[in-house]
Amino acid sequence: MDFTFNEEQLALRDSVSRFLMNEAAPELLREIWETGGGRAPELRAKFAQQGVTALSVPEAYGGLGLADVDWALITEELGYYAIPDSLADTVYVATGLLCAVPEAESLRAQWLPGIAAGTARVSIEHPVNPWVADAHLADLVLAFRTEADGILELHALAGAGLARSAIGSIDGSRRLSVLAQQPLDASTRLLRGEAARTIAEATLDRATVAVAGQLVGLAQRMLDLSVDYAAQRKQFGRPIGSFQAVKHHLADVVTRIEFARPVLYRAALALQRNERDRAALVSHAKLACAEAAWTAARKGIQVHGASGYTWEVDLQMFMKRAWVLDAAWGDRGFHKARLGEALLRDDAPLGPAATLY
């Protein structure tokens, strides 16, 4: 399978990368981690000026209407710079959810122009992901709730006034909350039953691909930081990067990243095509990308001589983001179980011919 991106996709990726290089320096990350809200409104405004907040919004609502494969590259950049903003949650995942619900036409007209303009934040509560990111700032919360009768429902809740409890996170710019499970009625309900379950599964897969892309970006950033450190730090009069043991550590990370990227792109393509084995491919991508990020963090700490844990070293911010995202939208146990279930089906498409179709 050819995973070559076209010139427009690569140009968009490069444009986002140049913007983040200037606007999301590690010094800014440290400042935002120490703020109460963990977010920088001025950074969100700059995203909007660059058109990043409009990428997934359909053209009819003022956006560019990009698809899942385009986002695979963008999420890598968001991870590489560990942006202190839940941009992918609102602009990619929540927008996809709103566009997939036939009954949400009035919500699309109300919220999508604001998302494109960078003035609206949307958070998602999901049974797999009960800790809701940025609920303290959300204008709208899209909540999947299992009612007392065991039936799943999707509700659209106004963010202001929602009762919530804050949850601590080692990633200083990821603010999590648990929403109070007060009874909900038909006035906020969008979907119920099988229709809600189908949308919930699609939302889980889209969010998981977004997280997997960020994990690959984080792995690449931690590798780059470790290579720079190994080139500058000297022992016995030589850069430590010249020693074979250090080279092996870094080569292990390169291998993990190179094996994870095509799996991510394959999952994004399956998501865009809504293929039958979409869930298994998405879980495979999450597992491969998480392993790349964990390897990059572990090897990075060793290359940095354990100083990578300390606040003064940039590596610790990217490492903590990777640890947190590893557990977001399903931990490794969840995705291993989902992948195992798909592989053990009697009609599971196995072997190289099935993998590279």
Q: What is the per-residue pLDDT across 47-74, written as a single tens digit (0 to 9) for each? A: 999 899 999 999 999 999 998 999 999 9
Between 308 and 17, where is the model more confident?
Answer: 17
Question: pLDDT by residue (tens digit) across 273-325?
Answer: 999 899 999 999 999 999 999 999 999 999 998 787 888 899 999 999 999 99
Q: Topology of 195-354 in CATH?
A: Butyryl-CoA Dehydrogenase, subunit A; domain 3 (1.20.140)
pLDDT exceeds 80 at position 2: no
Alpha helices, DSSP H, located in the chain: 7-23, 26-33, 41-49, 68-80, 87, 95-100, 105-117, 194-232, 244-273, 278-303, 315-327, 332-343, 352-355
Banded model confidence at residue 1, pLDDT cuts 50, 70, 90: low
Each residue's pLDDT tens digit, 130-147: 889 988 889 999 999 998
Residue indicated by tokens 């196995």: 350
CA nearest 287: which of 182, 203, 216? Answer: 216
Asked if residues 260 and 213 have their Cβ atoms less than 8 Å apart, the reply is: no
Q: Which residues pair with 192 in a beta bridge?
A: 153
> In the predicted model, what is the mean pLDDT of residues 226-247?
94
pLDDT, average across residues 235-251 = 94
Q: How confident is the model at residue 28 (pLDDT cuts 50, 70, 90)?
A: confident
Distance CA 155, CA 351 (A): 41
Q: Which of 279, 276, 147 is nearest to 207 (CA)?
A: 279
At 47, list the tokens.
Answer: 């995203």
Q: 189 phi and psi, to 5 degrees?
A: -80, 130
Give the pLDDT confidence of 169-200 residue by residue, as tens digits: 888 888 889 998 877 888 899 999 999 999 99
